[in-house]
Structure 1
Amino acid sequence: MFKKYLVALFVLFGLNSYLLAENIYPISREMGSGTRGAFVDIFDVKEQVGKKKIDATSKKAEVTNSTGVMITTVANSKNAIGYISLGSLNDSVKAVKIDGVAPSVENINNKTYTVFRPFNLAISSDNELVNDFLGYTSSNQAKSIIQKAGYIALYDNEFSSKKPSGKIIVAGSSSITPLMEKLKESYKSLNPKATIEIQQSDSTTGINSAIEKIADIAMVSREFKDSELKNGLKTQVLALDGLAVIVNKANPIDSLSKDSVKKIFTGDITTWEKVK
C-alpha cells in the first residue's frame, strides 16, 4: 500500500514511476573503442589491479560496436543509459547534464563542461598526398565543416591544394568516421585527383593498421597510449569532441553527477531511484 502511494506521488509530480524500482540498463562500447577508452578515463570507471588501473565496466553492461547501434539501443529501451560523441547526438535520445552542466560546444569552450576528448590522427605515411590532405584538415575551409558537425576546431590555417594524385587509406574510430567522410568530400572538391578510402572500425584497430602500414592515417578518438607512440607514428589533433551521456527520451532524469555515472557503469548503482 505504501509503495502504491509513493508511485501515485511520483506520477502526480510528473516523474515516471519506473524510477522507483526498475533496473538501470547500461550500454557500453566494445573494448578497443576510443569512445569507451575516453569515457572510462574521464569518469574513472577503473579499478586498481596491482600497479595498474584497469577498465572496471560492469560485466552486466551490454556492449555495442558502433555509435549508431548505441543510439538505437538507448532510443528503444526506456531504462537504458549510454554514451556517444557529442557530434553524433540526435533527437532520438536525450543527453543529460553532468553535474548540472549541459553538453555543448559552448560549454566546452567556456570550460564548464569537462567531459570531452581529442579526435586524434596517427600518420604512418609521409608523401605529398597525405601531407596535402593533412594540411587541408587544419585549414580554415575544414574549420567550418568541423564546427558545423558539432565539434571544436583548433586550427584556422590558410590552405591551397597542390592537387597531388594517389590514394590514401584512413582507418579507425566509428566516432570520427562521419566527420572524416565530410572532410574527404570537401577535400576532393579541391583535389579531384585524390582517392581517399575510409575504413570504419575502432581506434585500436585503426592505430594497429597504421603501425602495420595497412593504413596511411589512423582515426583515434582517445588519448594515445605510450606503447603506440613508440612506433614512430606522427600525430595530429583533428578536433575536440564532447562526450554525451544519453538516456531514453521518456526518462525524466535531467542531470547526473560524475560519481553517479561512474557507479552506474561499475555496477555499484543498479536502480534509478539511487542516482544523483
Structure 2
Amino acid sequence: MKLKKFIATLAVVGMVAGMAVGCGSKEETAKADNGEKTESASDWDSSMDITIVSREDGSGTRGAFIELFGVEEKKDGEKVDMTTEEAQITNSTSVMMTTVAGDEYAIGYVSLGSLDESVKALKIDGAEATAENIKNDTYKVSRPFNIVTKKGSENEVAKDFVSYIMSKEGQQVVSDNGYIGDDSAAAYAGSKPAGKIVVGGSSSVSPVMEKLIEAYKEVNPDAEIELQTTDSTTGVTSTIDGSYDIGMASRELKDEETAEVEGQVMATDGIAVIVNKANTTDELSSEQVKTIYTGEALTWDEVVK
C-alpha cells in the first residue's frame, strides 16, 4: 500500500473510533465493528495517489492509447513506450474494467464499445466519449479495428466470413454494438461454404466479433467458427504462421505485418479513459492524461484543480 493511502486509512480508523467513544453511539460503534464506512470516510480525496492501470505489451489498445496520447517518444529512430513502471498491468478489457471499478483512485482505458456502467468514462478535451462524437470528429481518441488474413490464403469459409463482416448486414452488427461501421456497405451475397475456421486476436475486438459470428451462423449454419481471445500482436503473428485463419487487431497494422497479411478495417472504435464511479473528476485534457501515464503526475490533485 502506498504511503498516502496507508496514512489515510489510519486516519479513517481513528476518526471512526473517536466518534464511537465521543458520542457513545451504539449505531456508530456497530458500523465500525462491521467495517462500514461513515459518510465522511467515503468522500473521494483528490490528495490520494493515482492508481495507474495499463494493458500488457502486445495489446492493440495499449499501442493505440500511447500513440494517441503521446505516451511514447522516439529514441534512436524507434518509438519507445514511456508508460510509467508504476502502472498496474492488466491482460484484457474485462480485467481492466474490474480493476478500475474496484479502486476509487484508479484510472484506465478501454474500447468504447466495451464500456459499461461499472466505471465512468471521462470527457477528453471537452468531448464525451460517444460514437456520434467520433463520427463528427469532436472526440479524437479513436482507432481502427482490423481483420487480417494471410496473403495467398484460399480458405473459402474465411473468405466468405470476411465478406459477411464487410457487408451491409455485418456492418449493421458493428453499429448495433456501439462501434462505427460503413453505412454504404453492399448487401451480403456470399456462397455460404461449409467448414471450420479459427478467428483470434485482440480482446477489444472479440466482443463484436462474437456477435458477428452469431449473425453469420444464422445465414450459414454449415460454418464452424472458433474464437480465441489473445491480443493484437498475437492476432497478426498467428495468422501469419497459420494458427488463425482470421486475425483481429485493434490498432494500425505495421509495415512488416502488411507484407505478410491482407488487412481490412472492419470498424472504427473509440478509446474511453475510465475512472472509478466515486471519482469526482469528469474531464481531463489529453496532456493531463499523458502526465499521469508517464508518471509526471502522482496524485489526483496534481491534475484536478
Do these two structures clear the TM 0.5 threshold for a shared fold by scoring above it? yes
Q: Name 2:157's counterpart in structure 1.
A: 129
Q: 1:44 & 1:169 partners in 2: Cα distance?
A: 35
Amino acid at match of 1:18: D
CA distance in 1, matches of 2:93, 2:174: 18
Corresponding residue for residue 254 of structure 1: 282
Does the Cα contact within 8 Å between 1:136 and 1:142 map onto a contact in 2? yes
Q: Partners in 2 of 1:48 and 1:140 — Cα distance?
A: 41
| Unaligned 5+ runs, structure 2 | 1-41
Pick the aligned partner of 1:119 from 142, 145, 150.
Answer: 145
Q: Deviations over 1:52-103 (max 9, x none)?
A: 2211100000000000000000000000000000000000000000011000
SS class of match (1:18):
coil
- Note closer, same or farther for the CA distance 1:16–1:274 as it changes in structure 2 (3 Å cut): farther
**Which residue of structure 2 aligns with residue 12 of structure 1?**
none
Structure-2 change in CA distance of 1:166 and 1:17 (3 Å): closer
Deviation at 1:17, TM superposition (A): 5.0
Partner of 2:61: 35
Specify the code of the residue in structure 1 equivalent to 2:233.
Answer: T
Q: Find the partner of 1:51 among 77, 91, 113.
A: 77
Q: Where in structure 1 do 4 or more consecutive aligned residues deviate above 4 Å?
A: none
Find out whether 1:243 has 2:271 as its counterpart. Answer: yes
Q: 1:18 maps to which residue?
A: 45
Q: Structure 1, residues 161-202: CA drift from partner, whole Å, max 9, x if none?
A: 322011111110000011101000100010011011111100
Q: Does 1:217 align with 2:246?
A: yes
Rounded to whole Å, the distance in 2 between the matches of 1:113 and 1:174 is 22
User: In the aligned structure 2, how far is the partner of 1:49 from the partner of 1:160?
Assistant: 49
Could you tell me how far 1:206 is from its partner in structure 2? 1.0
Structure 2 counterpart of 1:162, from 168, 174, 191: 191
201, 208, 229: which is aligned to 2:237? 208
Q: Which amino acid aligns with 2:119?
A: V
- Aligned partner of 2:125: which letter? D
- Does 1:193 pair with 2:219? no
Give 2:288's aligned amino acid: S
Compare 161-170 and 94-103 and name the one that shifted more: 161-170
Could you tell me how far 1:132 is from its partner in structure 2?
A: 1.1
Number of positions where the alignment pairs a residue of Structure 1 with one of Structure 2: 260
Who is 2:212 aligned against?
Answer: 183
Distance in 1 (CA, whole Å) between partners of 2:115 and 2:266 is 19
In the alignment, which residue of structure 2 is the partner of 1:3?
none
Contact 2:44/2:104 (8 A) holds in 1 = no
TM-superposed CA distance for 1:111, in Å, is: 0.5
Amino-acid identity (%): 50
Which residues of structure 1 form unaligned runs of 5+? 1-14
Task: Tell me if structure 2 keeps the 8 A contact 1:161–1:190.
Answer: no
Shift of 1:16: 4.8
User: How far apart, CA to CA, are the structure 2 residues paired with 1:127 and 1:257?
Assistant: 46
SS in 1 for 2:45: helix
State yes or no: 1:96 paired with 2:125: no
* 1:9 corresponding residue in structure 2: none
Where 2:248 maps in the other structure, the secondary structure is: strand
Distance in 1 between the 2:223 and 2:135 partners?
34
How far did 1:118 drift? 0.1
1:75 paired with 2:101, answer yes
TM-score normalised to structure 1 length: 0.92
SS of the equivalent of 1:244 reads: strand
- The one-letter code sitting in structure 1 at the alignment partner of 2:45 is Y
The amino acid that maps onto 2:257 is E
Question: Are the counterparts in 2 of residues 24 and 270 from structure 1 also a CA contact under 8 Å?
Answer: yes
Deviation at 1:129, TM superposition (A): 1.5
Contact map agreement 1:161 1:191 (CA 8 A) in 2: no
SS of aligned partner of 2:257? helix
Pick the aligned partner of 2:171 from 134, 137, 143. Answer: 143
Give the letter aligned to residue 116 of structure 1: S
Q: Distance between the aligned counterparts of 1:206 and 1:190, measured in 2?
A: 26
Q: Report the counterpart of residue 267 of structure 1 in structure 2.
A: 295
